[in-house]
């Protein structure tokens, strides 16, 4: 695929700088223990974040979320590129085949809001939505276009409704022919641009919802018991412990959207196990406390990075898990250790 990229890499008509370079320089988690040093790398504490650009293409076709102009293509607006492209030669050829034989949807102009994991709460909220919110504020007359399957996700339609955005949904089985296409590159996972995230926060809370902030007063436990994976095995006794410390128990799936955002602006201590629900950290007021419950071998520190980016206090608690695959494993929380931590914090 690297050969294809060097020969057929499509160039945008122009690039507009949205947010400049930034440096994220974080201190340790509040309860960092040096015996866990092997779980961290330098990038968890120091990261140089590249510029975020708005790209503009003219007379292009979107097929399988790849942007084409003739044989030339671009996938950087739709795929995470940690080490080159995730778009494989087979996908490239399959996408070309669709262009030749599938129905074409004609759209005059739009901003492409689509990426490989864009229908996931974390990736939509912290990677796609910041770009959508900023673009719509600068180009309110240009529609947002996104795959039809996004329409079934309540968190996507909920956020867009709050921002007053009515997107054009297109069937991914077809191809889209578009005269003027705007897009931005997919950021590296967990490397946040602070100005970008703060702009999203302001667009939703201050501009759209007109939230009147009050001093945070809630201790909140966000349960993943309705998720398909990464649940807490001993959650019933965990909840009993948390209730003794005044925690309110919530299930994100049951909350009305704007009410959920209001809830998190009122939260002073947030506890949850590793998962997309912790993306709601973005709605906490500055200086609050997050406790992330993690599998013993989980070295994925996205929510540590997000917490520190927004000037929160971050604690972690490793737990026994029922699988070596921390991305899917359920955990058994050490309640004695958690109780000691809560006594220190609350």
- The pLDDT of residue 81 is 66
Q: Is 230 helix (H, G, I), strand (E, B) or coil?
A: coil
- The pLDDT of residue 82 is 54
Give the integer Cα–Cα distance in Å for 180 and 76.
17
Q: Is 62 helix (H, G, I), strand (E, B) or coil?
A: strand
- The pLDDT of residue 76 is 82
Give the integer Cα–Cα distance in Å for 241 and 247.
9
- The pLDDT of residue 343 is 97
Residue count of the chain: 346
Q: Which domains does the chain have, with CATH numbers?
A: 2-208 (no CATH), 218-345 (3.40.50)
Residues 6+ apart with CB under 8 A from 17: 51, 52, 53, 54
In terms of Cα–Cα distance, which of 90, 116, 93, 105 is closest to 181?
Answer: 105
- The pLDDT of residue 228 is 87
C-beta atoms surrounding 177 within 10 Å: 17
- For residues 284 and 309, is the Cβ–Cβ distance under 8 A? no
DSSP 187: P
Q: Is 127 helix (H, G, I), strand (E, B) or coil?
A: helix
- The pLDDT of residue 222 is 97
- For residues 162 and 257, is the Cβ–Cβ distance under 8 A? yes
Give the integer Cα–Cα distance in Å for 111 and 135.
8
Give the chain's residues under pLDDT 70.
1-9, 11-13, 81-87
pTM check: above 0.75: yes
């Amino acid at each position: 695929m690297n050969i294809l990229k060097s020969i057929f890499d499509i160039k945008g008509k122009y690039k507009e700088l949205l947010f400049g370079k930034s440096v994220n320089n974080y201190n340790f988690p509040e309860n960092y223990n040096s015996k866990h040093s092997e779980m961290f790398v330098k990038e968890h504490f120091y990261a140089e974040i590249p510029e975020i650009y708005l790209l503009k293409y003219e007379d292009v076709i979107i097929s399988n979320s790849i942007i084409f102009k003739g044989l030339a293509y671009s996938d950087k607006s739709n795929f995470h590129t940690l080490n080159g492209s995730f778009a494989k030669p087979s996908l490239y050829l399959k996408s070309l085949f669709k262009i030749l034989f599938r129905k074409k949807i004609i759209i005059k102009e739009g901003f492409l809001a689509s990426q490989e994991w864009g229908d996931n709460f974390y990736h939509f909220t912290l990677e796609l939505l910041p770009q959508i919110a900023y673009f719509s504020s600068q180009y309110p007359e240009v529609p947002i276009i996104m795959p039809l399957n996004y329409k079934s996700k309540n968190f996507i339609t909920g956020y867009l409704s709050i921002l007053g955005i009515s997107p054009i949904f297109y069937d991914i089985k077809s191809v889209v022919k578009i005269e003027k296409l705007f897009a931005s590159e997919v950021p590296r996972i967990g490397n946040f641009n602070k100005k970008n995230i703060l702009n999203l926060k302001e667009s939703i809370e201050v501009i759209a919802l007109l939230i009147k902030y009050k001093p945070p007063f809630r201790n909140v436990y966000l349960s993943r018991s309705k998720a398909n994976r990464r649940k807490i095995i001993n959650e019933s006794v965990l909840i009993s412990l948390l209730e003794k410390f005044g925690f309110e128990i919530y299930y994100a799936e049951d909350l009305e959207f704007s009410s959920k955002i209001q809830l998190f602006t009122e939260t002073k201590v947030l506890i949850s196990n590793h998962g997309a629900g912790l993306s709601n950290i973005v709605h906490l007021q500055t200086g609050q406390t997050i406790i992330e419950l993690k599998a013993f071998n989980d070295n994925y520190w996205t929510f540590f990075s997000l917490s520190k980016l927004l000037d929160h206090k971050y604690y972690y608690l490793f737990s026994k898990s029922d699988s070596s695959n921390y991305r899917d494993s359920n955990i058994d929380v050490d309640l004695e250790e958690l109780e000691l931590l809560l006594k220190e914090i609350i």
